[in-house]
Amino acid sequence: MTDHPRLAVAGLTKRFGAIQALAGVDLHVGRDELVVVLGATGAGKTTLLRTIAGLETPDAGSVAFDGAEATSWNPAARDVALMFQDFALYPDWTVRRNLEFPLRAPARRLPESEITQRIAWVAELLAIGHLLDKPSTRLSGGQMQRVALGRALVRRPRLFLLDEPLTNLDAKLRERLRLEIAALRRELHTPMLYVTHDQGEALAMADRIVVLIAGRVAQVGSAEDIYDRPASPEVARLLGHPPINLIAATASDGFWRAGDGTPLAPATATVGSRATIGIRPEHLAPNGGPRPAQIRVVQHHGAYQVATVAWAGGESHVLLPPEAALPIGTELHPSVVQDRALIWPG
Amino acid sequence: MSKDFLVLDQVAKTYADGTVAVRGIDLRIAEGEFVVLLGPSGCGKTTTLRMVAGLELATGGTIRLDGKDVTGLPPSQRDVGFVFQFYALYPHLRVADNIAFPLVATGVPPRERKERVAAVAESLGITGLLDRSPRQLSGGDRQRVSLARAMVRRPRVWLMDEPLGTLDADVRDTLRDFIREQQLAHRVTTLYVTHDQEEAMALADRVVVMDAGLIQQAGPPAAVYDRPANRFVATFVGSPGMNFLPGASGEGLFVPSAGGPGIAAAGLPPGPAILGIRAEHLRLTTVGAGVPGTVAGGEYLGAWRLVHVRLGDGSLAVVRSPSSDRSDRPASAIGDAVGLAIAPAGVRWFATDGSSLEAR
Amino acid sequence: MSAARSWDERGAWRWLRFVVLAGYAGIALVPLLWLALTSIKAATDTTSTTARFIPAAESAVSGAASHSFVPTAAGWTGLHTPLPGSPATFLDFLLSSLIIGLASTVAAVALGTVTAYGFSRFRIAGGKDWLFFILSTRFMPPLAVVAPVLLMYQQSGLTGTHLGLILLYTVFNLSLAVWLMKGFIDEIPRAFEESALVDGYTRTQAFFRIILPQARTGMAVTAVFCLIAAWNEYGFALVLGGQGAATVPVWFAGLQGNISGVPWPVVAAGAVLFVTPLVVFAVLVRNHLLRGMTFGTVKG
C-alpha cells in the first residue's frame, strides 16, 4: 500500500470576477475518514467541492487522488461521487432508472447482471426497495435524500463529495439522517468530504473538521479540538449553539476586564494590553460573580434554558436549568467557570 | 387585552383534488401572545397559517379576529402582516421602497412613511442598506428587509411562515432574538410556523404541535417538553426525542422487556405499558446496575455528548451528558456493554397506543 | 342534507360547464365547418345570395331560395388543375410547403437548442452582446431585404430550390428559437448535467440524455411557432420560390387572377388540406406542451 492520502489539495485558488472564492486551500482526506468542511454561506465551500469534482478549473493549485496529479482530469475520470444540495434527481424517471444511470455511463459501463445486483444491494442498504418503481417526483424529501445518496453509493467511487445534503430537510429528519450517513460511510470504508454550514452536523459527524473562512482554511482538527481550542474568535463563533460570548477586554490589576470593568479572567499580560475573551454559555454560571446582569430574553430548549443578559457592556448568553422560572428583568450575577475563558491577544 | 383575540373554531381544509390538509383545528390565541405551530412537513401547519392570512379559504369552520368573523374575507381586509419563507421582496424596488410598500397601500402620508421606515431599519441594523436593490443583498440581509417590511406596519396579527428556514445558524440566532424582542416590545399577537422544535421552544409563549392535520398538543414550551401528551409529541419535541422502553407493570413495579431491575411505578395499572424518559435523565452505569445494552455510537455536540445504546430488544436509547462530565467516558467506546440508570424524576408513562398515562 | 345539496351543486356546475364549453366549441368550429362545406359545393352555390349549407340529393333541392345544395367533388378535382402559366398543381405546392416547413422547423429548433444551451451554461465572451445581436436580426421588416436576398440567391443558384427557402426560414426563425430555448434551458438545474458529468458521462452524452428530454416542452413550443411562421410566409416564397419551390400561400394568391373569378370550392378544398398538417402537428406535440404545466407541489 502507498501512504498517499485519497485526496490531497494544495494551494487551491479560484476567483470569480471580483470575488475570491478560494485563496490557497490545502487539505487532505485519508483512505477511511469523514472530513467535514465547515463554513458560512459564501466561504467557498461549494467552489472547493466543485473544483475537486472537476466541475470548475482552479486558477492555481493542484488536486491529486492517491498521489496521482489530477488537476486537469475531466469529471468522469476522477471517479468521485457528488451529491447535490437539491439532490438533482431526474424528475420523469423512476427511482430505479435514476440509480442505474451512473452504472450505465459509457466510461465505466457494467454488465446487466452486475447492475441488477448493485441496485438490489443499495435498495436493501437504504431501505428503498419499495420505492424503486416510483417516479422520483412522487417522493418525500427524506426519500429523495435517500435515493440521491443511493445514486452516489451505487457506483462505489473512490471518494464521496456531499454538498449540504441535509439543508432542505426538516430539522428532525436531519438529526436522524446525519447519523445514518456517518454510519453508512463507516460500513463502506469509503472516504467522504462533507460540506456544511451547520455546526451541529460538523460536530456530530466529523472525524476531522476543516474550518473555511473567506476562502482560506482557518483551522483543522477533531471536533473536540476545535470546539475547546478554537484558533481565533471567528472560528469560535462558527461552532457552538447557543453561540460563544465574545467580549473585548483590557488587562489591568491581574484581570482581563470588559469595557465596563467586569472581570472576565485572570491576566498575566502587561497592564493595558488588549484581547478578545471568549466564554461559551455553558461556562458562564448564572450566579456567583461580582456584577449584576439583567435578563432580557429567555428561550426554552427543553433540557435547559438560554437567557440573554445585559452583561459586561453587551449581551451574553447564559444557560439556566430547565425548571428555573426567571421572568424578564430578573438580575443574575454571572461568573466565568475557572480556566474556561478563551483568550486571543490583540 | 382579549383572551380570545384570534379564534380558530373547527377550521378545516380539503383541497379540490381531495387532499385533506387540515382536519379541524380549535385554537384560542390571546392578544399579545406568541404562538408557534410546530410539526413535520405535510402536517397542515402552513395551510393553517395561510387560512388565517386569507391566502387559502377554509373549507370548514370559522376564524374570528377580535370578535369579527373573517373566515371569508380577502387578506387585505384582515389587517395581518405576513413574512414568507423565501424573502418575497420586489426586485425592482429599492430596500426603502420595499419596506414602505405596505404603508403606501394603507395610505400613510409620505413624511410619516419615511420616519417609520427609518425607525424599523434602525432597529434591524439595515439603515445602510436602504438605497440598495434587493439583488445586492445577502440572504440574511434580505430576510432582515423582509422582516422589516412585515413589521413596519403594526397589524393586529403577525403571521410568519418559517422565516428563518434557510439561513446560516448565526444569522438565524440573531434574527430569532430580534423577532422575540420586537414581539415583546410591541406585544403584537404572533402566529409562527416552523418544523424546527428548537426554534419553536425558544420563541413561543405556547407551542402547538401538529401532525396529520390535527393538533396533538398545545401548551407552554416547558410543559410540552416535560409532559408530552403522546409519543408523537415526545419524539418530535426535544433533540434527541424521548426514549421509550416497553415493558409490563404489576405490584407497583415496572419491568422493561429489555431487562434490568424493576422501576417503581406506583399507581400504574397492571399490564403492558411504555416508560418514556429524556436523554438527560439517563446515565451510563455498569451492566448489572441498569437496563443492559451495548454502546452503538456517539455524537459530540460541543457542550454535550450523546451516547447511543442498543438495547436487548433492538431499540436505541440515547444518553445525554455534559461534555465536561468525564465520569462515563471510559465506558463509552463502541461495542462496550453498559447499563442504563434511570432517574425516577424523569420517568413518564405511556399506554401501548402511545397516549400519555400521566394525570393531567 | 348538506351532502345532497353539494351533490346538486356539483351537478349544476357540471351542466353549466358543458353548456359554456359546447357554445365555445360551436363558435370556434363554424368557420371550419363552413370551409369544409364550401369545398363540396358547386361554384354557383358559393356565390348565391341565400346561404346554402344543407347537403341534399338533387331531387330535394327546390328553387333559388333553398338552403340546400347538391354536393360535388369539383372543388377537390380542381386541385389537380395546374395554375395558369405553370405545370404545377396544388399537390406540388403542398409538397413544397411540407418539405420547406418541416425541414426549416427541425433545423431552427435543433440549432436554437444547441445555441441556447451554450449561452445558458457557458461564460461566453460578450455573451449578452451576441444574444442581442441575434435578436436584432428580427428588427428589420423581412420584406425590406427581399431585393438583396434575391440577388444573392440568383448568384448562388438558390432561387427556385427547396434548400433556398429552408435556409431562409431557418435563419429567420433562429433568433426566436434561441431566445425561447434559452429561457427553457435556464430553468433546468445545472446540477442535472453536472451530476451526470461526475457519474462518468461526457458533456455531449449528458446533453442528449438529460437536457434534451428536460427541454422537450420548450422544443415543442418553439417548433409550433417556427412551423406556423414558415407555413404561412408568402412574400419570400413568391419572390424566391420560383417554379420549383413555391409554397401553398403562393398557390392561393395565384388563384386570385383567374379570369372566371375566384374558384371558391377549389380555394376551400385547398384550405382544408392546408390546415390539416398544422392540426396534426399540434395534436402530436400537445402532450409535450401540457407536460410543462403539471409541475407544482403542495406544502404542509
For residue B207, what is the nearest residue in chain A, using CA coordinates? A300
Q: pLDDT exceeding 70 applies to what percent of chain A?
A: 99
CA A246 to chain centre: 21
Q: Is pLDDT of A274 > 90?
A: yes
Could you give the C-alpha distances from C159 to C156, C240, C242, in angstroms and in order? 8, 5, 7
Give the pLDDT confidence score for residue B107 in this predicted structure: 81
Average pLDDT over residues A260-267: 93
Q: Return all residues near A178 (Cβ < 8 A) that are at least 6 apart.
A: A166, A201, A204, A205
Give the pLDDT confidence of A196-235 residue by residue, as tens digits: 999 999 999 999 999 999 999 999 999 999 999 999 999 9
Q: Is residue A252 predicted with pLDDT exceeding 80?
A: yes
Q: Which residue of B has its CA nearest to A306?
A: B202
Among the partner residues A42, A282, A322, nearest to B303 by beta-carbon distance: A282
Question: Mean pLDDT over residues B91-105, rounded?
Answer: 86
pLDDT at A320: 93
Task: Cell numbers for B63, please give them.
Answer: 376564524
Confidence of residue C295 (pLDDT cuts 50, 70, 90): very low
Which tops the pLDDT comparison, A59 or B74? A59
CA B279/CA B341 separation, integer angstroms: 11
C195 Cα to chain A: minimum distance (Å)? 7
Q: What are phi and psi of A21, to 5 degrees?
A: -75, -45
Residue B120: pLDDT over 90 = no
What cell numbers appear for B142 in the block?
A: 434580505
Give the pLDDT of residue C1: 39
Q: Is the pTM of this model over 0.90?
A: no
Say yes or no for a CB contact (<8 Å) between A179 and B299: yes
Mean pLDDT of all residues in C119-133: 89
> CA–CA distance from A152 to each of A145, A162, B340, C191 (Å)?
11, 9, 37, 14
Least reliable range by pLDDT among A9-23, A327-341, B51-65, B98-112: B98-112
Which range is most confident: A242-256, B92-106, C55-69?
Answer: A242-256
**How high is the pLDDT of residue A341?**
94
Q: Which CATH fold would you assign to the domain B242-350?
A: OB fold (Dihydrolipoamide Acetyltransferase, E2P) (2.40.50)
Q: Which chain B residue's Cα is nearest to C300?
A: B42
For A229, the closest chain B residue by CA position comes to: B302
Is it the case that residue C287 has pLDDT exceeding 70?
yes
Which pLDDT band holds residue C294 (cuts at 50, 70, 90)?
A: very low
- Return the number of other C-beta atoms located less than 10 Å from residue C136's C-beta: 10
High-pLDDT (> 90) share of chain A, %: 73
- Segment B130-188, tens digit of pLDDT: 999 888 888 778 888 888 887 788 788 999 988 887 777 778 888 888 888 888 888 89
Given a cut of 80, whether residue C296 has pLDDT beyond it is: no
**A42–B contact, CB cutoff 8 A:** yes
Residue A346 has a CB neighbour count (10 Å cut-off) of 8
Chain A residues within 8 Å of chain C (Cβ atoms): 50, 53-55, 74-76, 78-82, 84, 86, 88, 90-92, 101-102, 105-108, 151, 155
C227-250 pLDDT, tens digit per residue, is: 999 999 988 998 888 878 889 998
B344–chain A nearest CA distance, Å: 16
- Distance (Å, whole) CA B316 – CA A341: 36
Q: Do C300 and B15 touch (CB under 8 A)?
A: no
Mean pLDDT of chain A: 92
Q: How confident is the model at residue B203 (pLDDT cuts 50, 70, 90)?
A: very high
Q: Whole-angstrom Cα distance, residue A54 to residue A72?
A: 8
Note the pLDDT tens digit of each residue in A286-334: 999 999 999 988 888 889 999 999 999 999 999 999 888 888 899 999 9
Min Cα separation B21/chain C (Å): 7
Which range among A279-288, B1-10, B247-256, C38-47 shows the weakest confidence by mean pLDDT? C38-47
CA distance A200 to chain B (A): 6
Q: Could you tell me the CATH superfamily of domain C76-293?
A: MetI-like (1.10.3720.10)
- Torsion angles phi and psi, residue C43, rounded to 5: -55, -40
B24/B13 Cα distance (integer angstroms): 8
In this prediction, residues B15-21 reach a mean pLDDT of 87
Res B328: pLDDT: 52
Sheet strands (E) in chain B: 6-14, 20-29, 34-38, 60-65, 68-69, 80-83, 157-161, 189-194, 206-211, 214-219, 243-250, 253-256, 263-264, 271-277, 282-285, 291-300, 304-311, 316-322, 337-342, 348-350
* Residue ranges covered by each domain of chain C: 2-73, 76-293
DSSP B103-147: HHHTT--HHHHHHHHHHHHHHHT-GGGTTS-GGGS-HHHHHHHHH
**What is the sign of the dihedral through the CA atoms of B347, B352, B354 and B355?**
negative
Rounded CA-CA distance A150/A160 in Å is 12
- In this prediction, residue C300 carries a pLDDT of 31
The domains of chain B are located at 4-235, 242-350
Question: Of B320-329, C14-23, C239-248, C263-272, where does mean pLDDT reach its minimum?
Answer: B320-329
Residue A31 exposed, middle or buried by CB count within 10 Å (0-12, 13-18, 19+): middle
Q: Is pLDDT at C65 greater than 70 in this prediction?
A: no
Flag if C300 and B19 touch (Cβ within 8 Å): no
Task: Kindly report which listed range (A181-195, A257-271, B26-40, B95-109) carries the lowest average pLDDT score.
Answer: B95-109
* Predicted local confidence at residue C44, as pLDDT: 81
Nearest to B195 by CA among C144, A171, C120: A171
Region C158-175: what's the mean pLDDT?
93
Alpha-carbon gap: C299 to the closest alpha carbon of chain B (Å): 6
Mean pLDDT of the region C206-228: 91
What confidence score (pLDDT) does residue C293 get? 47
Confidence at residue B250, expressed as pLDDT on a 0 to 100 scale: 87
Asked if the model's pLDDT at residue B329 lies above 60, the reply is no
Residue C193 pLDDT greater than 70, yes or no: yes
Collapsed DSSP state (helix, strand, coil) of residue A181: helix
User: Would you call C300 and B21 a contact, using CB atoms and an 8 Å cutoff?
Assistant: yes
Query: Is B39 an 8 Å CB contact of chain C?
Result: yes
pLDDT value at B112 more than 50? yes
Instruction: Give the model's pLDDT for residue C201.
Output: 87
pLDDT exceeds cutoff 50 at C297:
no
pLDDT band at B359 (very low <50, low <70, confident <90, very high): low
DSSP letter, residue A337: P
Query: C296 at the B interface (CB within 8 A)?
Result: no
Contact B46 C300 (CB under 8 A): yes
pLDDT at C47 over 90: no
Q: Which residues of C touch B15 (CB under 8 A)?
A: 298
pLDDT at B334 over 90: no
pLDDT (average), residues B36-47: 93
| Cβ contact, residue pair C200, A55, below 8 Å | no
Q: What is the mean pLDDT of residues C153-169?
A: 92
Task: Tell the burial category of C294 from Cβ atoms under 10 Å away from its Cβ (0-12, 13-18, 19+).
Answer: exposed
Could you tell me which CATH class the domain B4-235 is placed in?
alpha beta
Residues of A in contact with C192 (CB under 8 A): 88, 90
Element (H, E) at C25: helix C2-39
* E strand or H helix at A342: strand A342-345
Does position A261 have pLDDT exceeding 60, yes or no? yes
For the segment A135-152, what is each residue's pLDDT rounded down to a tens digit?
988 888 888 888 998 998
C82, pLDDT greater than 70: yes
Name which of A49-58, B326-335, C8-17 the model is least confident about. B326-335
Instruction: Find chains touching chain C: ≥3 CB pairs under 8 Å.
Output: A, B
Which grid coordinates are listed for C148? 438583396
Cα distances (Å, whole numbers) of residue B148 to A296, A297, B151, B317, C154:
21, 20, 5, 44, 68
Q: How far apart are CA A110 and CA A107, in angstroms?
A: 10
Judge whether B77 and B27 are in contact, CB under 8 Å: no
**Whether the predicted pLDDT of C182 surpasses 60:** yes
Residues of chain C contacting residue A86, judged by C-beta atoms under 8 Å apart: 189, 191
- Kindly report, residue by residue over A58-112, the tens digit of the pLDDT: 999 999 999 999 999 999 999 999 998 888 899 889 999 999 999 998 877 889 9
Is there a contact between C172 and C229 (Cβ–Cβ < 8 Å)? yes
Mean pLDDT over residues A252-264, rounded? 93
